[in-house]
Amino acid sequence: MKFNTKTIHGGQEHDKAYGAVMPPIYQTSTYAQSTPGGHQGYEYSRSGNPTRTALEKAFASIENGNYGLAFASGLAAIDAVIKLLKPGDEVVSTNDLYGGSFRLFTKIFQDFGIKFHFIGMADANNIENYINENTKLIWVETPTNPMMNIIDIEAAAKIAKKHQVMLGVDNTFATPYLQNPLDLGADIVMHSATKYLGGHSDVVMGALVVKDKDLADKLYFIQNASGAVCGPQDSFLVLRGIKTLHVRMQRHCENGKAVAEFLAKHPKVEKVYWPGFESHPNHDIAKKQMRDFGGMLSFTTKGNDYEQAIKMVENLKVFTLAESLGGVESLAGHPASMTHASIPREVREKTGVVDSLIRLSVGIEDVDDLIDDLNQALG
Ligand SMILES: *Cc1c(COP(=O)(O)O)cnc(C)c1O
Same domain, 198 and 86: yes
d(CA 62, CA 10): 7
Q: Which tens digits make up the pLDDT trace of 276-311?
A: 999 999 999 999 999 999 999 999 999 999 999 999
d(CA 46, CA 25): 15
Nearest residue (CA) to ligand 1, atom 5: 74
Same domain, 155 and 183: yes
Query: At 130, is the pLDDT very low, low, confident or very high (cuts 50, 70, 90)?
Result: very high
Name the 3-class secondary structure at 367: helix
Task: Identify which of 138, 140, 202, 211 has the alpha carbon closest to the alpha carbon of residue 171.
Answer: 140
d(CA 244, CA 55): 14
Q: What is the mean pLDDT of the chain?
A: 96
Nearest residue (CA) to ligand 1, atom 4: 74
Taking the model in full, what pTM does it have? Answer: 0.97
Identify whether 345 is a catalytic site residue.
no
Same domain, 253 and 314: yes
The dihedrals phi and psi of 342, each to the nearest 5 degrees, come to -80, -10
Domain range for 28 is: 3-242
Percent of the chain with pLDDT strictly greater than 90? 93
d(CA 85, CA 91): 9
The CATH number covering residue 271 comes to 3.90.1150.10
Please count the structural domains in the chain.
2
Q: How far does the centroid of ligand 1 lie from the alpha carbon of residue 98, in Å?
A: 7
pLDDT at position 347, please? 78
Element of type H or E holding 283: helix 283-289
Identify whether 170 is a catalytic site residue.
yes
Identify whether 130 is a catalytic site residue.
no
Is residue 342 pLDDT above 90, yes or no? no
Same domain, 48 and 154: yes
Task: Identify which of 191, 161, 194 has the alpha carbon closest to the alpha carbon of residue 175.
Answer: 191
Q: Which tens digits make up the pLDDT trace of 205-244?
A: 999 999 999 999 999 999 999 999 999 999 999 999 999 9
Same domain, 114 and 201: yes
Domain boundary among the residues 242, 259, 282 is at 242
The CATH number covering residue 154 comes to 3.40.640.10
d(CA 379, CA 377): 5
Same domain, 236 and 249: no
Residue 3 near residue 177 (C-beta atoms within 8 A): yes
Identify whether 46 is a catalytic site residue.
yes
Q: Which tens digits make up the pLDDT trace of 313-331?
A: 999 999 999 999 999 999 9
Same domain, 171 and 269: no
Q: β-strand 358-361 against 115-119: which pairing, if any? A: unpaired
Same domain, 128 and 273: no
Same domain, 349 and 217: no
Q: How far does the centroid of ligand 1 lie from the alpha carbon of residue 208, in Å?
A: 12
| DSSP assigned state of 229 | P
Residue 365 near residue 259 (C-beta atoms within 8 A): no
Q: Which tens digits make up the pLDDT trace of 75-125?
A: 999 999 999 999 999 999 998 888 899 999 999 999 999 999 999 999 999
Same domain, 201 and 274: no
Same domain, 269 and 324: yes
Q: Which tens digits make up the pLDDT trace of 10-58?
A: 999 998 889 999 999 999 999 999 999 999 999 999 999 999 999 999 9
Same domain, 216 and 288: no
Contacts (Cβ under 8 Å, ≥6 apart) of 102: 118
Nearest residue (CA) to ligand 1, atom 2: 192
Domain boundary among the residues 242, 265, 292 is at 242
Domain boundary among the residues 197, 212, 242 is at 242
d(CA 354, CA 336): 7
- Ligand 1 mutation target, pool 192, 229, 325, most atoms within 8 A of CB: 192
